[in-house]
Structures are given as C-alpha cells and as structure tokens.
Amino acid sequence: MAAAGFVIRPLAFCFLQHFVIQRSMQDPSIKSYRKLDFEQNTAEWLSWRRQGIGASDAPVVMGLSPWQKAGELLLLKTGQQAERPANGYMQRGKDLEPLAREAFIRHTGIEVEPVCVQSTDHAWMRASLDGLSADGRHVVEIKCPGEKDHRFAASGCVPEKYFPQLQHILAVTGLGEIHYWSFRFDHTVLLKVDRDEPFIADLIEKEIDFWTRVCATADGLAAFTAS
C-alpha cells in the first residue's frame, strides 16, 4: 500500500463563558481538556455530543459544511430534531475506521486510541477523537473518503470542509499540529496540519455565538413547556 506525506501550513447542557481564551501551542503535560470514560457511538456518547459543540459541528458553525446548515444543527442541539441515520458513506467510514487506525499506527509507529475529550476552558466544547497517543502529544483525524477528497489530500491539501474540524480539535487539545490520515486500501495519504491561531480565535467566537443561541432557544422552549 503506497503512502504519501505532506505538511500543511496554516492558510490565511448550557455551559457558556463570554470570553475567548487565546491558547497557543502548549506543553502537552498541561492539559486543556479532560478525557471521558465512555465509548463513542453509544447512547451515553450521543447524549454528551448533543450537549455541546463537537469537532464535526465546527464546519457547520463556520458555514463550510456541504451537508448541514446552522439552523438544522440548532434544532438538533435543542432536541427539536432527531439525529440523522448514517448514510452509506458515513457507515463505510465507521466500518473502516479501526482498519485505518491500525494502518496509521503501522505507518507512523505512533500508538493511538479513540477517546472523547472536553475542554476545560469551555465545557460545551468537545471532540470525539479518532486517535490520541497515551502521552497526549499526537492526535489523528481519520478519513476514509471518496476518490475526489482523497485525490485532493494526495495533492497536499485538506478539503476546506474539514479544516474547521481539525482546528476545533487543536483548540480543545491545545496541540500545535494534527495528523490527517486519508485512507484507501490501495493508497494512503498522511498530512500534518498546523494550528492556525487566527482561525481558532474566529472559530471560538462563532461557536460561542452559536452556543448562546442554543441556550436561549432551550430556555425559551423550557419556559413555553412550563407555561
């Protein structure tokens, strides 16, 4: 199986804090998050995911998701809309993720495990990580994409729709870079994406605005139900 590697440099329930913490790359021994002791894709995980903004929500908040609008995400977070069932592409990604993670470990020599983490700066800021090393120094986002997105990665670029997801993970973990592992059986691509401080500042500001709307909507629904 062939593999390519590049380094990407930066391109240009209600817990709310009304400020943005500027966190640059830090000593990984100083954790900006806490780990949760439940497994992904369980009922407990789904409930936790609904009570905050996860990495996969970040492209929606930034207006870069081709699959979901912010209004739809708001309905989901406030319990007015159910989770969408996984489509064929999503299910394929879930099924292949363990194989892709093992391939990443073999390729890099970095042992990683899936884990859920929650920011200690913003309790609503969460991430379900595809892989984090035991020492907290390495994190990987795994994609098992279609041909178009994989070709884009092979050219040395992360698809724009995934960039907010990667930066959200870096914001939660406090790390300076993330591995982006694009996995196909006949070819794999490993990119290293640097932390983008201006983008993260904008991302957190927009996520605070969005979570304020979630809280206000949830409060309004609760008051209406009680009346």
Angle at 91 between CA 88 and CA 94, to 5 degrees: 155
Strand segments (E) across the chain: 2-8, 33-36, 112-119, 126-133, 139-143, 177-184, 187-194
Give domain status of residue 223, yes or no.
no
Taking the C-alpha atoms of residue 82 and residue 217, their distance in angstroms, rounded to an integer, is: 16
Cβ atoms within 10 Å of 33's Cβ, excluding its own? 22
Q: Which stretch of 22-36, 83-97, 173-187 has the lowest confidence by average pLDDT?
A: 22-36
For residue 16, the model assigns a pLDDT of 40
pLDDT(3) > 70: no
Taking the C-alpha atoms of residue 11 and residue 25, their distance in angstroms, rounded to an integer, is: 17
User: What CATH number is associated with residue 69?
Assistant: 3.90.320.10
Average pLDDT over residues 173-201: 97
Tens-place pLDDT, residues 97-149: 999 999 999 999 999 999 999 999 999 999 999 999 999 999 999 999 999 99
Give domain status of residue 164, yes or no.
yes
pLDDT(29) > 60: no
For residue 224, the model assigns a pLDDT of 64
Residue, of 226 and 203, whose pLDDT is higher: 203
Tens-place pLDDT, residues 161-180: 999 999 999 999 999 999 99
Range of the domain at 181: 2-7+27-77+108-214
Instruction: Read off the pLDDT band of 4 (50, 70, 90).
Output: low
For residue 5, the model assigns a pLDDT of 58
Total domains in the chain come to 1
Stated pTM of the model: 0.86
